[in-house]
Copies of this chain bind each other. A is one copy, B any other.
Amino acid sequence: MSTTEIHQGSNGSLPPSGTFRAWEYADGRFSEMDVNLSMEYSVTLSINGSPFIIIACSGSEMREMAVGHLLSEGIISEAEDIRAVTFDTDSLILNVETDLNDRILERMLRIRRLPSGCGQGIAGEDVPVRNVTGKTAIAVPTVLSMMREFLQHSTLHRLTHGVHSAALFTADGRRLSFFDEIGRHNAIDKVLGHALLNGIDLSDKIVASTGRVASEIILKLINASVPAIISRASPTSLSRELAIRHGVVMIGRVRASSCTVFNGIGTVTP
């Protein structure tokens, strides 16, 4: 029984980071090594035992997050509204006990699922996903030049507004589309929608993203049968796990002359 009441000053935390096996490319060759990644947990926030929302989060300071979420969403307004906060680290259920049944019940009629990226989200096994069957052989020098071109394109747009970008590339480095959006999810959706509308087969293409790759991004790619993603940022633990499980090549931390392969080392050549 791992349910414990979280007392003030006790964070009720899970490890916020962990080390994971990856292959780092530098000086023209790969080195196998352990890389530190942000953990991503799919935590169910419950009110008086009823599921309210699933939040993708880092696993730390669960008491503050639970109380702050209910305050910021207009459900509670005072510390006196909270009787207790418990966190079950096995089931990842974060429960808030409160007396405010009437005010709360109307807001609990459905579990709301909010995407992460912004940190709240669909995550884990509750979304139907396929296994990606496409195969793409990827050469690291092509990845590096892809990212260079992608970020130049993006920088131009960043000057005018704070946006995220996503693009679609062929495995030999030709860019097929580029979209800006106010959020990472929309940018990815546009890339996928554009491909579907234009008869572009996604099963041998590569998606590039300016954003961190969290679980809900990789689930989108899996649903659209995209076999590979490159990003300048690191993935979260959960998105790496989903990439491995569903066969998506995942390359992160792409710099001018280096990158890290988190999945698919067998199809990536130095």
Contacts and interface: CB of A to CB of B under 8 A. Distances in A.
Greatest chain B CB density within 10 A among A16, A190, A197 is at A190
B74 A192 contact: no
Main secondary structure of the interface of A (DSSP, over half): mixed
Contact of A120 (B66, B110, B115, B212): B115
A182 interface: yes
A40 B193 CA distance: 20
Contact of A115 (B16, B37, B40, B118): B118
Nearest to A225: B77
Interface stretch (A51-59, A141-149, A256-264): A51-59
Nearest to A38: B161
B68 A196 contact: yes
Nearest to A186: B119
Interface residues of A, number: 79
A138 to B, nearest CB: 22
Contacts of A82: 197
A112 interface: yes
A43 to B, nearest CB: 10
Nearest to A119: B183
Contacts of A128: 74
A161 B115 contact: no
Contacts of A162: 38, 212, 233-234
A199 interface: yes
Contact of A119 (B38, B64, B187): B187
Nearest to A55: B186
Interface of A: 8, 16-17, 36-38, 40, 55-58, 60-61, 63-69, 71-74, 76, 78-79, 82, 110, 112-121, 127-129, 160-164, 179-194, 196-199, 211-212, 214, 216, 219-221, 223-224, 233-234, 236
